[in-house]
Amino acid sequence: MVLEIVGTAVVALAIGVVAGFTVRRSVAERQIGSAEQEAARLRDVATKEAEAHARELVLEAREEVQRLRLEFEKEAKEQRADHQRIEKRLLQREETLEKKLEGLEQRDEAMRRREAELEKVRDSVEELRGQEIVELERISGMRRDEAREFLLQGVRDEASREATQIMRNIEAEARANGERTAREIVGLAMERCAADHAAESTVSVVELPSDDMKGRIIGREGRNIRTFEALTGVDLIIDDTPEAVVISSFEPIRREKARLTLQKLIADGRIHPARIEETFQKAEREIEERIREEGERACEDVGIVGMHPDLVKTLGRLRYRTSYGQNVLKHSIEVAHLAGIMAAELGADIHLSKRAGLVHDIGKALDHELTGTHITIGMELLERYSESADVIHAMSTHHGDFEAHSLEAVLVTTADKLSASRPGARRETLEAYIERLRKLEEIASSFEGVEKSFAISAGREVRIAVKPDRVDDDEAYRLAKAICKRIEQEVRFPGQIKVTVIRETRAVEHAK
């Protein structure tokens, strides 16, 4: 660029010199000498001006080159900085990816080890299962195929029995619809027997002489009420109700013992843990005596004699047992009267019918303590105390579990249906409620190490007392969680249920 400018200047200068020389030559050749001098002078001036202009152009060119170089270096520096930042980020990402890859490799290694452990456990489980099958075959004396066939045969037999029972019910219903005499007998029996039907409650109210008694019942830091609830297994509700407290429990006998204990404590005025235990023992003995008296009174009312004393006492327990809200002892007495009236009209054995009717639900007095239906429990109980086979057969058929082979059995079944089907005689909701509470106690008591369990607060809480020598503090927490999980799986309930596990160690000494 600089050379082009210099070249242009030189060309312009040459053209100027030639033009000047031609003009001057044409104007006056005479002045050639002077013109040559002038031309020489002008040439020198032009040369100097051209050189000066050339120097200026060179300087401008150098300055432009310097500026361009600085801009290039600045851009290059910025690009290098950008490249360094990008390179740094890439290095950081590479390190992060390497750490993640290392973590994934460690997890992969852990997964492989876990899979290997699970494979070992699976193999051991399969081995134990095989040993279990071999042991079961040895104990039962049957191979697996034989056991499967045995179970299938049992299912087929059960289905066959149910089908047969349905057929019998249909045939019996058809015969009943066409038999006017039977209707007349039933109507006569219902007319001649009028029993009171009272729905049992799940709470008892105890009146107090004054509201000051509530504080004495609670005791210092609540020790009296805790001892009372732990001994009796009930929920003692002390609220703003004036001069009254409420005892809540689904078990009538337990609630009655608590009510009697509290009344005795209030009358005595001395309320402390030792006195509560002593009074509760006295109340237990008194309730047992009442149970025996209720059984004897029921036998006298029906006219039954010669019954074993233990059966009479068990029969008295039904006074505190309800079925769908109907008092079971009153229901049993009513069934006995109805069966006796119908037996008299049909010429059957009146004494057998009454006796079987009175004991037909005796198994319900023990169904929360023994496994099995109240019918099977009642049959075993009657066999144990040498009741006649006719009485056992007559009471065993009232729910259709066994086929009736005597007229007395049919009469007991009919009397049971009549007593239960009276309007207002039964309430299903109360029975379902009590059954749920009983189920909660059964679930809690089924765990190892549990000494006592009580369902309180209308089924919203289960209190469990464990054996301190078999359940430690950590195990108590695990036990509470296990019971909660079992309740969630087996019991349907609204809201939530609180499970409280109590572990207590007592040290008792006597000063002499």
- In the chain, the percentage of residues whose pLDDT exceeds 70 is 79
Mean pLDDT across 211-233: 86
The mean pLDDT value of the chain amounts to 80
d(CA 147, CA 141): 9
Q: For the domain covering 430-503, report its CATH number.
A: 3.30.70.1350
Three-class secondary structure of residue 492 per DSSP: coil
Of 152, 173, 168, residue with least CA distance to 401: 168
Instruction: Give me 239's structure tokens.
Output: 């609220």
Q: Are strands 498-503 and 461-466 parallel, antiparallel or unpaired?
A: parallel
Please determine, for residue 186, whether its predicted confidence score (pLDDT) is greater than 60. no
Q: What is the pLDDT of residues 297-354, one digit of tens each?
A: 888 888 888 888 888 888 888 888 877 667 888 888 988 998 889 888 888 888 999 9
> Which pLDDT band holds residue 432 (cuts at 50, 70, 90)?
low
To the question of domain 187-426 being in CATH 3.80.30, the answer is no
Between residues 416 and 428, the one the model is more confident about? 416
In this structure, the number of other CB atoms found within 10 A of the CB of residue 450 comes to: 18
Please determine, for residue 451, whether its predicted confidence score (pLDDT) is greater than 80. yes
Prediction pTM value: 0.47
Of 434, 465, 460, residue with least CA distance to 449: 465
Please determine, for residue 39, whether its predicted confidence score (pLDDT) is greater than 80. no
CB 288 within 8 A of CB 271: no
In this structure, the number of other CB atoms found within 10 A of the CB of residue 435 comes to: 14
